[in-house]
Amino acid sequence: MNAKTLWRLVKSSLAVAVLTATAPSFAADWHEIRSPDGRLEVEFAVEDGQAVYRAEYRGRAIIDRSVLGFRFKDRPALVSGFKIADVERTSTNAQWQQPWGERRIVTDLSAGLSAVLSSPDGRKLRIEFRVFNDGFGFRYQLPGKPNERFVVSDEVTEFAFSQNYKAWSIPAYREKFSEYEYSRSALSALSVVQTPLTLEGNGLALAIHEAALVDYASMNLRMAADNTKTLKADLTPWSNGDLVRARGGQNTPWRVVLVADSAAQLADSTAILNLNEPSRIGDASWAKPMKYIGIFWGMHIGKFTWEPGPNLGATTARAKEYIDWAAKNGIPAVLIEGWNRGWDVPEWWQNGKSRFIFDAAAPDFDMAEVSRYATAKGVEIVGHHETGAQVQDYLRQLEPALDYYDRFGVRSIKLGYVGTRLDVHEWPDGQYAVEAFQKVVEATAKHQIAIFPHEPVKDTGLRRTWPHVMSREGARGQEYNGGSPDSGNSPDHVTILPFTRLLSGPLDYTPGVFDFDYREKRPINRVPSTLAQQLALFVVLYSPVQMAVDLPENYEGKPAFQFIRDVPTDWETSKTLMGEIGDYIVTARQDRHSSDWYLGALTNERSRALSVPLSFLSKGRRYEAQIYADGAGADWKTAPERVTISKRIVTSRTVLNLSLAPGGGQAIRFKAL
């Protein structure tokens, strides 16, 4: 074609003309907010009555002039005619401590700007920016008095990217929500996608996400109509089309742009945590990082069932077996799925059909006895609340359900929201879902019970405010490798997650498959991984609670299980050493309770040799590297179980050469000597 380009040219010329015509106001109105290290520069202005921003990193434009504002169902829009009523500069320079986390100390260093804009009819819209070294955020405070109610029909927020970056995305508004493998595409090919959205190009890595989503709809990103590089906010609606049922003075979540020199650096960003409010639960020591096993994988591979029958998973006897095994192997907790009443309801996973009871055990399960036994063995029970996406029914039962767990000493619950719509009608990430989940967050906080939500509202850094929300699913997890008829994940999936889904928070992926031969019951399913990679996942895919997923008997007599015994779930600090999205990643983390370090390396379907300088280790100290590597001929397809365990002495000056098999990995404990 040709004339298309003419069209583009003309459009570009017009844009230039506009800029030229408004050059005087241009110069006058742009407020610059520069990150403390000076590299990231965000500018805000009211230009021709529009609220706009743009951003540069290291002198390269990343986001061009992008419009901010709102439309409402029941009152005039706030998109034009703005004047700046007030501008205030802010800054932060602090360190704070995570009760648990991938790093103990988080540095909160930022420059900020808070602008009050007045609309022609006198309403005031506040827009607040915070610019960190590793990204920036902005949020709106909606106008009106606290008792005012109104409906947001469009959040205008644009992200007009300067380049047609490479994008890693999952689609929005699909039946399986967040449980998709990531697509790699040009930014220009996107339609409507979820966040975090990760972008690469021009020597940069970017991600768009949000922070502190507590009383608003989730933000998706939709391609703007006439442009191939501009995405705009697309809030998940209520079933009647309302986007947000807002109140006067409400703050929106922060809209966050993470920026880094590389994907590896992006993976270590802390801006989202810094944009969340400090903890509201005081002493959080009851929300404990830990490993657990579960009556879980047996269901996925078809050995057990959730519903009553000859192979029922959650029986008193089996729970005791698992408790015994956990106690013997130093695993602090056991998840029991399918213990309560309701699993026998036919097709409960279909909208509106489930009838779960949360304070009564199914006939084959004696909660009192199991609880007593667990306590005697020093093992915790991880409870399980499958809501079947009937959230009002769950909320109605929530207090008795938590009382019940209190009574039996259950201090953490895996939550499930299986279904295609909440309460038949509502998307699982609209305001309806967010507010319903927040009620669960607050109720469980009062009971001092930690939660691990599956099919969750996406994480937006809420663990800072509510550290008992420990880890979420919200991704296509290991379970797909076990019992999904669409035959599992691709081998590159785990090399994409750390740069995409993990940017939002911890992931309850459930690593640790040791027995790859379950074809008898699942002929088409494969775990696209070697055993060494399964170990490395404990390090790379951060979660404060990690379920060693395989059947206990599959760990018996396996020397490699020692790594699962050893690997901590709470860290002093963490560093993504290297990585390319979809290809490989190497992550190092320091144990919070010792001087030991751990390293995990993953590759996709290709074998790979990597040289890793151990400069993260303490200078002058010697470590015993306990190395769990892919064995000779290991390959996820043909010989996944081959693992070689070796030891050597290393220091911070050592450069390790890692050899990773197809679908392989390597896990290392650096034991401080």
Residues identified as active-site = 479
Tell whether residue 261 is a contact of a copy of itself (CB under 8 A).
no
By the 8 A CB rule, do 644 and 610 touch? no
Tell whether residue 53 is a contact of a copy of itself (CB under 8 A).
no
Cβ distance to a copy of itself smaller for residue 314 or 379: 314
Tell whether residue 454 is a contact of a copy of itself (CB under 8 A).
yes
Tell whether residue 467 is a contact of a copy of itself (CB under 8 A).
no
Cβ distance to a copy of itself smaller for residue 429 or 572: 429
DSSP 215-256: SSPPEEEEE-TT-SSEEEEEEPPPTTS-SEEEETTPBPPEEE
Cβ distance to a copy of itself smaller for residue 253 or 582: 582
Residues 182-201 that bind a copy of itself (CB under 8 A): 182-186, 188-189, 191, 201
Tell whether residue 673 is a contact of a copy of itself (CB under 8 A).
no
By the 8 A CB rule, do 413 and 454 touch? no
Tell whether residue 311 is a contact of a copy of itself (CB under 8 A).
no
Residues 504-543 that bind a copy of itself (CB under 8 A): 524
- What is the size of the binding site for a copy of itself (CB under 8 A)? 67
Q: Give the per-residue contact string, 18-37, with a copy of itself (x = CB under 8 A; - = no).
A: --------------------
The residue range among 221-229, 239-247, 563-571, 639-647 that interacts with a copy of itself, by the rule CB under 8 A, is 221-229
Binder among 114, 141, 305, 438 for a copy of itself (CB under 8 A): 305
Residue 60 to residue 203: CA distance in whole angstroms:
10
Q: Give Cα 304 to chain centroid, integer Å.
A: 29
Which residue bears the tokens 């230039």? 16
End-to-end CA, the chain? 67
DSSP 65-120: EEEE-EEESSS--BSSS-EEEEEEEEEEEEEEE-SSSS-SEEEEEEEEEEEEEE-T
Cβ distance to a copy of itself smaller for residue 115 or 362: 362
Tell whether residue 487 is a contact of a copy of itself (CB under 8 A).
yes
Binder among 296, 561, 571, 597 for a copy of itself (CB under 8 A): 296
Cβ distance to a copy of itself smaller for residue 433 or 650: 433
Residue 451 to residue 497: CA distance in whole angstroms:
22
The residue range among 128-136, 146-154, 156-164, 563-571 that interacts with a copy of itself, by the rule CB under 8 A, is 156-164
The residue range among 109-117, 120-128, 181-189, 553-561 that interacts with a copy of itself, by the rule CB under 8 A, is 181-189
Distances (CA, A) of 481 to 300, 486, 510, 525, 613: 9, 9, 11, 6, 33
Tell whether residue 307 is a contact of a copy of itself (CB under 8 A).
yes
The count of other CB atoms within 10 Å of the CB of residue 239 is 14
Binder among 121, 406, 486, 553 for a copy of itself (CB under 8 A): 486
Cβ distance to a copy of itself smaller for residue 44 or 348: 348
Residue 259 to residue 454: CA distance in whole angstroms:
28
Residue 493 to residue 354: CA distance in whole angstroms:
32
Cβ distance to a copy of itself smaller for residue 98 or 169: 169
Tell whether residue 318 is a contact of a copy of itself (CB under 8 A).
no
What's the one-letter identity of residue 507?
Answer: L
Cβ distance to a copy of itself smaller for residue 73 or 184: 184
Minimum CB–partner distance for residue 240 and a copy of itself (Å): 23
Which residue bears the tokens 């241009």? 26
Look up residue 628 and give its two tokens.
């769990």
CA quadruple 465, 266, 129, 82: dihedral positive or negative? negative
Tell whether residue 229 is a contact of a copy of itself (CB under 8 A).
yes
Residues 548-607 that bind a copy of itself (CB under 8 A): none
Minimum CB–partner distance for residue 447 and a copy of itself (Å): 23
Tell whether residue 608 is a contact of a copy of itself (CB under 8 A).
no
The crossing angle, in degrees rounded to 10, of helices 316-329 and 367-377 is 10
Binder among 50, 329, 484, 607 for a copy of itself (CB under 8 A): 484
Tell whether residue 381 is a contact of a copy of itself (CB under 8 A).
no
Tell whether residue 12 is a contact of a copy of itself (CB under 8 A).
yes
Q: What are phi and psi of 502, to 5 degrees?
A: -70, -20
DSSP 8-state secondary structure symbol assigned to residue 16: H
The crossing angle, in degrees rounded to 10, of helices 391-407 and 431-447 is 10
Binder among 196, 253, 482, 662 for a copy of itself (CB under 8 A): 482
How big is the CA angle at 187 (ends 258 and 17), to the nearest 5 degrees? 90
Residue 306 to residue 384: CA distance in whole angstroms:
12
Minimum CB–partner distance for residue 545 and a copy of itself (Å): 16
Minimum CB–partner distance for residue 17 and a copy of itself (Å): 15
Minimum CB–partner distance for residue 631 and a copy of itself (Å): 23
Cβ distance to a copy of itself smaller for residue 99 or 196: 196
Q: Give Cα 329 to chain centroid, integer Å.
A: 29
Q: Give the per-residue contact string, 338-357, with a copy of itself (x = CB under 8 A; - = no).
A: ---------xxx--------
Tell whether residue 663 is a contact of a copy of itself (CB under 8 A).
no
By the 8 A CB rule, do 185 and 228 touch? no
Residue among 486, 487, 473 nearest 428 (CA): 473
Burial bucket for residue 247 (CB in 10 Å: 0-12, 13-18, 19+): middle
By the 8 A CB rule, do 448 and 403 touch? no
By the 8 A CB rule, do 369 and 354 touch? no
Minimum CB–partner distance for residue 176 and a copy of itself (Å): 7
Binder among 36, 81, 248, 302 for a copy of itself (CB under 8 A): 302
What's the one-letter identity of residue 603?
Answer: T
Tell whether residue 303 is a contact of a copy of itself (CB under 8 A).
no
Binder among 77, 116, 156, 418 for a copy of itself (CB under 8 A): 418
Tell whether residue 648 is a contact of a copy of itself (CB under 8 A).
no
Tell whether residue 58 is a contact of a copy of itself (CB under 8 A).
no
SS3 277: coil
Distances (CA, A) of 88 to 33, 39, 113, 130: 11, 22, 6, 12
Which residue bears the tokens 């999205």? 581
Minimum CB–partner distance for residue 350 and a copy of itself (Å): 8
Minimum CB–partner distance for residue 309 and a copy of itself (Å): 11
Identify any residues that bridge with 658 across adjacent strands, giving them in sequence order. Answer: 610
Q: Under the rule (CB under 8 A), what is the footprint of a copy of itself? A: 1-12, 162-164, 166, 170-171, 174-176, 179-186, 188-189, 191, 201, 225-229, 296, 299-300, 302, 305-307, 337, 347-349, 386, 388, 416, 418, 454-455, 473, 477, 479, 482-488, 490, 524
